Amino acid sequence: GAGVSQSPSNKVTEKGKDVELRCDPISGHTALYWYRQSLGQGLEFLIYFQGNSAPDKSGLPSDRFSAERTGGSVSTLTIQRTQQEDSAVYLCASSPGYYQPQHFGDGTRLSIL
Amino acid sequence: DQQVKQNSPSLSVQEGRISILNCDYTNSMFDYFLWYKKYPAEGPTFLISISSIKDKNEDGRFTVFLNKSAKHLSLHIVPSQPGDSAVYFCASSYGGSQGNLIFGKGTKLSVKP
């Protein structure tokens, strides 16, 4: 398909474990974003990649969160030593560039037991 | 401190009538505004956007109005259809944030047949 693809769609894990979430952006989109939506909240920005520039990590809530984008395409969001407050839907979006609409994947629903 | 506010958590409208969703923002640096629609278990879908140099943008049944002096934007849907029932998010960005979006908490629209 031509849309943003995220995997897994659901992830249940025990507190303290590490998790990796994957995002395949739309082909040709230079910008890639990670957001999360906690229950009853709006979407919260986490991190932003634009081309080969250094990522904007200003939204990451703690140093347990990290992300990388390999070859300017696929991105992985890693959460180390997960906590219950990390439970949320993690959404990835991509866009062709500045001031262009962001297109979202369907997200990964992360549940920490 | 919420920079983007959607003060109505829900709105109910009769099919065929106009739906008006409202959004207020506090940061005068915002220069790009978007509306997204979200169904349960899916990612947000881009609807319509407007830049700060305009005060109106129209796309089919959807029109977005921007009042910069009041820091207010609205989405009009005419005529409303049952398939429009979803949660609508307002989002804003500015160059300084390199395009990452700041979202409101959403308004749940119900269109009754």
Give the HSE-up count for residue A86: Cα atoms under 13 Å, Cβ half-sphere.
Answer: 29
Q: Is A96 on the interface with B (CB under 8 A)?
A: no
Please answer yes or no on whether A43 and B32 come within 8 Å at the CB atom.
no
| Residue B96 main-chain phi, psi, to 5 deg | -65, -25
Q: Are A50 and A102 in contact (CB under 8 A)?
A: no
CB A33 to CB B101 under 8 A? yes
Q: A99-103, B34-38, B70-74 — which is least confidently predicted? A: A99-103
Radius of gyration, CA atoms only, chain B: 13
A59 interfacial to chain B (CB closer than 8 Å) = yes
B49 has a chain A CB within 8 A of its CB = yes
State mean pLDDT over A15-19: 97
Given CB atoms, is B39 within the 8 Å cutoff of chain A? no
Q: What angle do CA B41, B10, B90 make, to 5 degrees?
A: 70
Q: How many CB atoms lie within 10 A of CB A65?
A: 18
Write the pLDDT tens digit of every residue in B9-20: 999 999 999 999
Instruction: Say if residue B97's pLDDT is above 60.
Output: no
Interface contact A98, partner B, CB < 8 A = yes
Q: Which of A10, A21, A36, A43 to mutate to test the interface with B (most CBs of B within 10 A)?
A: A43
Q: How many Å lie between the alpha carbon of A66 and the closest alpha carbon of chain B? A: 17
Cβ neighbours, 10 Å, residue A84? 9
Of residues B81 and B2, the one with the higher pLDDT is: B81
pLDDT digits (tens, 9 = 90+) for B19-67: 999 999 999 989 999 999 999 989 999 999 999 999 999 999 999 999 9
Q: Please tell me the predicted confidence (pLDDT) of residue A1.
A: 54
Task: Please compute the mean of the pLDDT values over residues A84-108 and round it to a whole number.
Answer: 92
pLDDT digits (tens, 9 = 90+) for A42-58: 899 999 998 888 898 99
Residue A106 clears pLDDT 70, i.e. is over it:
yes
Separation of alpha carbons B20 and B96, rounded Å? 30
Whether residue B96 has pLDDT greater than 60: no
Q: Answer for the pair A108, A101: CB distance below 8 angstroms, yes or no.
A: no
Q: Give the per-residue pLDDT at A41.
A: 82
CA A80 to chain B, closest CA, distance in angstroms equals 24
> Which of B45, B101, B102 should one mutate to test binding to chain A, selecting the residue with the greatest count of A CBs within 10 A?
B101
Mean pLDDT of A61-84: 94
Two structure tokens written together for A105: 């994947």
- Taking CB atoms and an 8 Å cutoff, what residues of chain B touch A93? 43
pLDDT of residue B98: 57
Return the number of CB contacts < 8 Å for A and B: 61
Question: In the structure, what pLDDT confidence band is assigned to residue B69 with cuts at 50, 70 and 90?
Answer: very high
